[in-house]
Amino acid sequence: MPNTGKSSLLNRLTGANAKVGNWPGLTVSLLSARLIVGDQMVQLIDLPGIYDLSGYSEDEKVVTTYLETQKPDLILFMMNASQVDRQLNLLSQVSSNGMPVVVVMNMADEAKALGIEIKVDLLSRQLGLPVCLLSAKYGQGMEQLQKQMRDALKSLPSKPLSPAEVQRAFKASVMVPAQASHQLTERIDKVLLHPWLGLPIFFSAMLLLFEGVFSIGKPLQDAMSWLFTNLRTQALEPLLSGLPLMMQGLLLDGLFNGISTVASFVPLIILFFLFLGIVEDTGYLSRAAFLMDALMSKFGMDGRSFVMLLMGFGCNVPALMGTRVIRSKGLRYLTMLTIPFSLCTARLQVFVLFIAAMFTTAQAPWVLFSLYLVSIALAMITSLIFKNKYVNIDAFVLEIPPYRLPTLRQMILKGWQEVRHFLTRTTRFIMLGVLLIWVLTNFPEGATAGSLETWAGQLSHWMAPLLKPLGINEQLTIALVFGFVAKEVVIGALAVIYGHEGQALIDAIVHNMDWISAYSFMLFALIYTPCVSTIATIRNETKNWAFTTLSVAWPLCVAWLVSFAFYQTAMWVRVHA
């Protein structure tokens, strides 16, 4: 079932990097890793969490199709040891598939804290199945599981168990105290899930998170910029001085400036995901979905949609794939239409650069917080406009997990996952993007680099009438064009266009615009056309070109209207103040 720790077990057994979070339904596609069990190399598959093998949602189809077509050699049936009663029917269904089964009772630490006693040997005899009690979070019971896996791979298929047989076996083997409850969780939830105080507390917590990111991360970012500036002046420029000027420009003003500017923001990205990971792993984000459900329902969506919007703050692509857990086609389409408004990490890099350049450290968290609020507000407005076209016919059910403190290992793993993903994407896109931008800003031959005579200058001049009313200058116009491919390219593009990196790039941005133009640009970059990966995912998930076209055209129109309204209003106020 969802939220039983399958991905945590996969990571613990194999050292893999499956995404882990304290809310149900996080895994919506097949994750896998290789593992040596005894003298065999096996492939361990992490299937999405489901409640019933006879369900019809996309994630349930992933599981049933896999079991029907692949016929695995062994099933590890994961259970939450502190909530066994609600998982028994699914165990009965799995045991009837004609495959060997090992029952893995995870979260043994939570069960012990609640006073739950599990007689593992008796339960195994009653079920006729191997049973392993463990804690994937802390690594307890891994050796026993490895042994049971070795033995089970050589055994015959498990006998089918009726729901009544499973019920009797657990009733005889699992002793639950009459007062077993997560008392601390219940006390905290009285405050955090308060009907009136819940949402203000949540948004205040997010604001504090941003405050911490900028307060700690800005000095680290400055240090990185200093390091790269000295690397260029002290090492690279002397080393490359013998090359032709054109090649020096390509390597230094193109590749190095673009990549080093992006890399200087790695400390802020790490801190953001570490802090957000703590909030996520404690179980607070699933409570945010619960809090938002009543509000979301007024806009045609529900709490699951809000969870997907939150996932979109990391990356829109997995959030779009996550909508497979939504059974209603109308609600799924409506949610997919709103997810591209989520402020993903690729956009976050751009905003961190501009906020650091144009605003003080005290102002910065509020500016970033306002962009997140705009992101959510536009998702809501979009949902309100299209809710009658994409109607939700599905009831909202979300399991609220107990609060859990993440381990240091989980935090390190999460930080490494995000940084690796960030660097992988930026390396791939930035290398290609800055090369192309450098060519456009330096050719045709004989044109002054970065001038209107270049191909990039001609393109920006052609688009100027469309974006000038938004306060977006020609240099920013070029960056936006390349941001269509991937938002990560925007920063690298600016480094190439202005011919600077690090602090020098920030100074150039400050010299060429004011805070109103900068905020208008950030609004446009936040809202406008999703990146190519997001568009491709929408097309793959819906198989619908009309919907895909809508998902591209609608944000582009909204971006222009919002930026136009902000810029023109702000300029009018400035003139008449």
Type of residue numbered 214: F
The predicted model gives 276-287 an average pLDDT of 81
pLDDT at 175 over 60: yes
Instruction: Find tokens 């680290």 and name the residue.
Output: 220
Q: What pLDDT does residue 409 have?
A: 78
Q: What is the CA radius of gyration of the chain?
A: 27
Closest CA to 203 of 303, 332, 100, 291: 291
- Measured distance CA(233)–CA(470) in Å, rounded: 37
Residue 131, pLDDT > 90, answer: yes
- CB distance 486 to 531 below 8 Å: yes
Quick check: 538 and 510 in contact, CB under 8 A? no
For residue 379, what are the domain limits? 198-393+409-576
The answer to whether residues 481 and 361 belong to one domain is yes
Is the pTM for the entire model greater than 0.75?
Answer: no
**Rounded mean pLDDT, 32-39:** 87
Residue 392 is predicted with a pLDDT of 85
Same domain assignment for residues 88 and 10: yes
Question: In this structure, are 121 and 218 located in the same domain?
Answer: no
203, 161: one domain: no
Mean pLDDT, rounded, of the chain: 85
Q: Read out DSSP for 14-77?
A: H-------SSTT---S-EEEEEEETTEEEEEEEPPP-S-TT--SHHHHHHHHHHHHH--S-EEE
Same domain, 170 and 208: no
Is residue 455 over pLDDT 90?
A: no
In a domain, 262, yes or no: yes
25: left (phi over 0), alpha (psi -120 to 50) or beta: left
Q: What is the mean pLDDT of residues 367-387?
A: 95
What confidence tier does 130 reach under pLDDT thresholds 50, 70, 90? Answer: very high
Q: Rounded to whole angstroms, what are the CA distances from 395 to 219, 264, 328, 392?
A: 47, 45, 9, 8
For strands 75-80 and 31-37, give the pairing.
unpaired
Mean pLDDT within 119-134: 95
pLDDT tens per residue across span 236-246: 999 999 999 88
Q: How many CB atoms lie within 10 A of CB 85?
A: 11
Question: How many separate domains does the chain show?
Answer: 2
Q: Write the CA distances from 262 to 274, 360, 459, integer angstroms.
A: 19, 21, 24
Neighbours of 402 (CB within 10 A): 21
- For the chain, give the percent of residues with pLDDT over 70: 92
Cα(358)–Cα(59) distance, integer angstroms: 44
Please check whether residues 263 and 118 belong to one and the same domain: no
**Mean pLDDT for the stretch of residues 165-184:** 84
Per-residue confidence (pLDDT) for residue 570, from 0 to 100: 96
Angle at 509 between CA 504 and CA 512, to 5 degrees: 125
> Quick check: is 180 in a domain?
no
The pLDDT score that the predictor gives to residue 25 is 58
d(CA 232, CA 500): 11
Hey, is 527 helix, strand or coil?
A: helix
Same domain? For 202 and 171 the reply is: no
> 190 lies in a domain?
no
Same domain, 211 and 358: yes
pLDDT of residue 19: 60
Tokens representing residue 416 in the block? 């490494």
Output the domain CATH number for residue 49: 3.40.50.300
Q: What is the DSSP string of 423-481?
A: HHHHHHHHHHHHHHHHHHHH-STTSPTTSTTSHHHHHHHHHHHHHGGGT--HHHHHHHH
Residue 379 — very low, low, confident or very high, per pLDDT cuts 50/70/90?
A: very high
Residue 549 lies in a domain: yes
pLDDT at 23: 47
On the CB side of 550, CA atoms within 13 Å amount to 14
Element (H, E) at 210: helix 198-231
Are 167 and 256 found together in one domain?
no
More reliable by pLDDT, 133 or 222: 133
- pLDDT, tens digit, 9 for 90 and up, residues 178-211: 765 667 788 899 999 998 899 899 889 888 887 8
Residue 193 lies in a domain: no
**Same-domain status, 221 and 157:** no
Same domain, 76 and 216: no
Is residue 527 very low, low, confident or very high in pLDDT (cuts 50, 70, 90)? very high
Do 222 and 117 belong to one domain? no
Q: Is residue 94 part of a domain?
A: yes
Q: Assess if residue 23 is contained within a domain.
A: yes
The reply to whether 400 falls in a domain is no
